[in-house]
Amino acid sequence: MFNTRRTFLKGAVSLAGAAALPGIVKAADAQVINYGGSAWLGHYPAYIGIKSGLFAAKGLDVKWQSFGTSSARMSAMLSGGIDVACTGIVSALALMARGSKHFSIVGVPEDFGRVEGLFVRSGITSIQGLKGKKIGVTFASSSHMLVLDLLASAGLSPDRDVSLLNVPAPELPAAFQSNQIDAAAAWTPQFNRIRSMPDIKLLADDTGFSLYKQYGVTPGPDVLVMRRDFAGKNADAARKFLQAYFEACTMLRDKPDQAAKYLTELTNLTLQDQIATIKDATWYDAAQQKALLTTPGKYVDGLQKLAEMLVTHKQIDKAPAVRDWTNVNYL
């Protein structure tokens, strides 16, 4: 079962538990919304919305709570501790498969497909060339899903033809460098570190995932989820949140230099690295959301296929009907 998806980026802030960000001007009667985040890039829009005043301008007091794993974040949503969060779809699908109706998918912040992929040593030229090799990957992650899909597409068994080793994401570069593994599947920032090593090449990124070309869906896309009970009782606040959130997405897409200045305290990246990380993702604005989440539709169909693939690879027990969780009413 997928319980986690991503660890923090390098130098992620150590905001233990719930911690309101300093320096935010709040109107006395502002609507409070609790957001669950981390330093992963999927949370950039919410962080920028807080720090830039985009939420405050809508009369919202968005409070940031930091979580180390998607599973912890989603547990907080189920218990009512947070109202909105970005999460990897795999964590959401795991809960949906169990029948949880506590949340809806209300947005898609970005596509980070080109900063996650499978690296090999220069002597390996194809997926078939991985036969008999050791592949390091963080189990129960989108990278794990990418590897399973690539192996299946090449007719290789993950149980018989290769050795899959569960390596925590931050340890992948060192494992590769010390020759403990022959290949590594990683996401940014480990993706960037491995890519800079000598005699290493990228064999496939998320655009090589079988569902990507047809549906535009990566192995574990980020989605914005909102607690149903909160949205039902605060529809106007939900709409204003999304307006400000996607204004931040537009800033990330159109003005990465400006957006980066709000983020370096969150990620501890240099300004140059921060700008590069922003540019590595494709940011979706408000006008694109209905096309992504309306059903029937290509993207939601792709998420449905992903759910079914997770069942095939024994990562979840059954595939939920994804359309039952999408909601465009607040866009």
Whether residues 230 and 165 share a domain: the answer is: no
Lowest mean pLDDT among 87-91, 98-102, 281-285: 87-91
Question: Structural domain of residue 277, as residue ranges?
Answer: 31-111+220-324
Most confident of 15-19, 23-27, 115-119: 115-119
CA distance 158 to 91: 22
Average pLDDT, the chain: 89
Q: Per the domain annotation, does 8 fall within a domain?
A: no
Give me the pLDDT at residue 28, please: 66
Cis peptide bond prior to 189, omega within 30° of 0: yes
Sequence-distant (6+) residues with CB within 8 A of 172 are 136, 138, 181, 184, 186, 190, 194
- Rounded CA-CA distance 185/172 in Å is 8
- For residue 282, what are the β-bridge partners? 111
pLDDT greater than 90 at residue 63: yes
List the CATH number of the domain containing 125.
3.40.190.10
Decide: helix, strand or coil at residue 152: helix
Residue 20 has pLDDT above 80, yes or no: no
Q: Is residue 261 part of a domain?
A: yes
pLDDT at 301 over 80: yes
My answer on whether 227 and 90 are in the same domain is yes
> Do 98 and 235 have their domain in common?
yes
Write down the pTM of the prediction.
0.82
Confidence of residue 170 (pLDDT cuts 50, 70, 90): confident
pLDDT at 314 over 50: yes
What average pLDDT score do residues 149-172 get?
A: 94
Residue range 42-58, pLDDT digits in tens: 999 999 999 999 999 99
The values of phi and psi at residue 41, to 5°, are: -65, -25
Identity of the highest mean pLDDT range in 11-20, 25-34, 126-135, 182-191:
126-135
Is a pLDDT exceeding 80 seen at residue 90?
yes
- Assigned domain for 234 exists: yes
pLDDT above 60: residue 6: no
Domain end, chosen from 215, 240, 260, is at: 215
pLDDT over 90 percentage in the chain: 75
Same domain, yes or no: 136 and 99: no
Asked if residue 227 and residue 245 are part of one domain, the reply reads: yes
Helices (H), the chain: 44-52, 54-57, 70-79, 89-97, 142-153, 172-177, 190-195, 212-215, 228-233, 235-254, 256-267, 271-280, 289-293, 298-312
Residue 108 to residues 139, 160, 218, 288, Cα–Cα distance (Å): 24, 37, 12, 9
Are both 103 and 234 inside the same structural domain? yes
Q: Tell me, yes or no, whether 330 lies in a domain.
A: no
Same domain? 227 vs 302: yes
Do 235 and 318 have their domain in common? yes
Per-residue model confidence (pLDDT) at position 17: 36
Mean pLDDT for 69-73 is 84
Residue 58 and residue 241 in contact, taking contact as beta carbons nearer than 8 Å: yes
Mean pLDDT computed over 87-106:
93
Do 297 and 167 lie in a common domain?
no
Q: What is the pLDDT of residue 25?
A: 47
Based on the domain organization, do 125 and 262 belong to the same domain?
A: no
Amino acid identity for residue 34 in this structure: N
From 191, 215, 239, give the residue that closes a domain.
215
One domain for residues 121 and 257? no
User: Does 163 or 315 have the greater pLDDT score?
Assistant: 163
Is 256 a member of any domain? Answer: yes
Asked if residue 20 belongs to a domain, the reply is: no
Determine the pLDDT at residue 2.
35
183: pLDDT strictly greater than 60: yes
Identify whether residues 98 and 127 lie together within a single domain. Answer: no
What is the number of structural domains in the chain?
2
Domain-located, residue 262: yes
Q: Single out the residue in 174, 195, 215 at which a domain terminates.
A: 215
Is residue 141 situated within a structural domain?
yes
pLDDT of residue 193: 85
Give the pLDDT confidence score for residue 215 in this predicted structure: 92
Q: Which comes out higher in pLDDT, residue 76 or 122? A: 76
